[in-house]
Amino acid sequence: MKPIPGAKPVPLGQLVRSQDRLSFIYLEHCVVHRDANAITARDRKGTVHIPAASLGALLLGPGTTVSQQAMMLLAESGSTAVWVGEQGVRYYAHGRSLARSSRLLEAQASKVSNQRSRLAVARAMYAMRFAGEDTSGLTMQQLRGREGARVRRIYREQSERTGVEWTRRDYNPEDFAAGSVVNQALSAANTSLYGVVHAAIVALGCAPGLGFVHNGHALSFVFDVADLYKADVAIPVAFDIAAAAEVADIGAETRRAVRDRMKGGAFLETCVRDIKTLLLDTGDPEVEYGPEAFDADVVMLWDDNGRRVAAGTSYSTPDGYVESDRSYAELAEWMDEDT
């Protein structure tokens, strides 16, 4: 048999777990290619090698040209490729999931499809933001009201801390420069935050569009999870940038500041843990669902009796019966005798 052409996929054992990866790297005005299992970025100053297997998200800004081999490597490595517009205020694509199991995806779909469990997850999300407040008896309308008051208070506190004047969140997605300096910095910080959260969600095998608080958008769950961290990451960074004496490039300075804040706070580890905690019915998701539960490359068959049935197995008997024609006990007895 002739070998399959092209570079071999990155072995699963060489991939870094999503919570242990670099948050993101931003590139612009360069050619992105592949050298073995590394992404290369080449411009007039030279070539830089980036280990794809340990990268969360690669943000591709204006003037970037990407080869097919580079995109293959990103997809195989479970890294998110994000095309961003000028000033980094838009993003689009993602790579293949790091997860080999669909457990988190199934848990997400199950919870979001039931009104009671969806409300429970939404309450848990707000509880993470409200610093220990009891949200168990609140409706979505009450939760939104409390969140609105909380965000206004945070903006006011950051304005007082930095001395940056604040009126309201005001930005035009079509005209980045039209907003005030702090609004420009907030847009850049939020975009970087969305990109990294999107990378974590996709790496875990979850669906970015199945949100619990947000709804109707392909990135609803991204917005849900990102909102958990805006008060600690995006908002203070944006006000710090706006308070600086002179900032030549608001987008670039903001991205670097967000990256440094994420690195110092072990952001990806926190994000992955929070997602698992929200979607799984356990206080410590690593107890019942250790890392191997999401890395196992196992295909099962669905059964309407609530069982998980192994794939790649013939369930017919020599006399022509199939499993549904016999009781499970009879079939198990026959299979034991046959083996």
Binding-site residue positions: 147, 214, 227
Phi, psi for residue 57 in degrees, rounded to 5:
-140, 140
Burial (Cβ within 10 Å: 0-12, 13-18, ≥19) of residue 299: exposed
Known binding-site residue numbers for Mn(2+): 147, 214, 227
Determine the Cα–Cα distance for residues 42 and 145; give it in Å rounded to an integer: 49
